[in-house]
Amino acid sequence: STEEPWRRFNAVRVYMADLESALHYSLRVEVSAFPVINGDALKALKMYMSVLAKYFPGRSVVKNSLKSVDSWLQNTSGSDVSFDDFREALDNTAQAPDTALPDRVRWVGCQGSQPHLRGYPCAVWTLFHVLTVQALHAGASDGLEVLTAMREYVHAFFGCRPCAQHFESMAQESLSEVSSSTTAVLWLWTRHNRVNNRLAGALSEDPDFPKIQWPSPEMCPLCHTLKVNGDHKWDLDQVLPFLTKYYSNSSILTDFLD
């Protein structure tokens, strides 16, 4: 059997292995469904690559590769890019000195109790939370840069089409309210919780990883407060620093990388 051994992990930490696996899967597997990339899909891929080149944290060999794939892609002329050429760019840049791109998936914090649970969708959320926080730390002036890249990437390439439709309708409804890198971090957090709420108890839920309104009171007691009438209320002054620390580069664990 090709089943992999369970890797013990800390369920309240972010793992670089998941982020690098998301890179591999998003660039090589999802995009490969398009033998020719053009139009809105090409625009989406260019935006996604640009955001990755700017904000993907971690190993410099990986960052170097993302930067060279990005400059190759942004400099391609013409309206079509074939997936073969894109893949070759990924391969070539990964072979140049001081570069490396992951070439397989290895889920850690995103492992599911069964092979069809968690994995890539979990890592997509994790990656984009990390990218919005990186953009905030970098002082990005355009609050919409990362979220627009996510929106367009998901719209064009995310293999789960109902997911892409749901996400697009949330974006249409309220993405225009995002004005800064801070509101971008909070927008993605509230929308992710809305998805958690909708999916709690659904078939796609991993019974070992129930959908909750995140972070739990155990993870961040001060994030949770009560209104006078007893209803739950988030304390955003606590949630924001919690998110920026949880998803910051310095908090990411590097276990299980090659």
Residues that bind ligand FAD (CB under 6 A): 110, 118, 121-122, 124-126, 129, 154, 160, 162-163, 166-167, 189, 192-193, 195-196, 199, 202, 204, 206, 209, 214
At closest approach, how far in Å is the CB of 125 from ligand FAD?
Answer: 4
| Smallest distance, ligand FAD to C-beta of residue 71, A | 27
Minimum separation from the CB atom of position 94 to ligand FAD (A): 25
> Smallest distance from the beta carbon of 204 to ligand FAD, in angstroms?
4
Residue 204 structure tokens? 């796609």
Is the Cβ of residue 79 or residue 204 nearer to ligand FAD in the bound state? 204
Question: What is the Cβ-side half-sphere exposure of residue 30, based on CA atoms within 13 angstroms?
Answer: 24
Query: Would you say how long the chain is, in residues?
Result: 258
Q: Is the peptide bond before 162 cis (omega within 30 degrees of 0)?
A: no
| Minimum distance, C-beta of residue 115 to ligand FAD, in the bound complex (Å) | 13
Nearer to ligand FAD, 196 or 238 (CB): 196
CA 169, distance to chain mean position in Å, is 18
* Contact predicate 56/63, CB 8 Å: yes
Cβ-based neighbours of 128, under 8 Å, separated by 6 or more: 146, 147, 150, 188
CA–CA separation, 57 vs 71, rounded Å? Answer: 18
**Residue 100 or 127 with smaller CB distance to ligand FAD:** 127
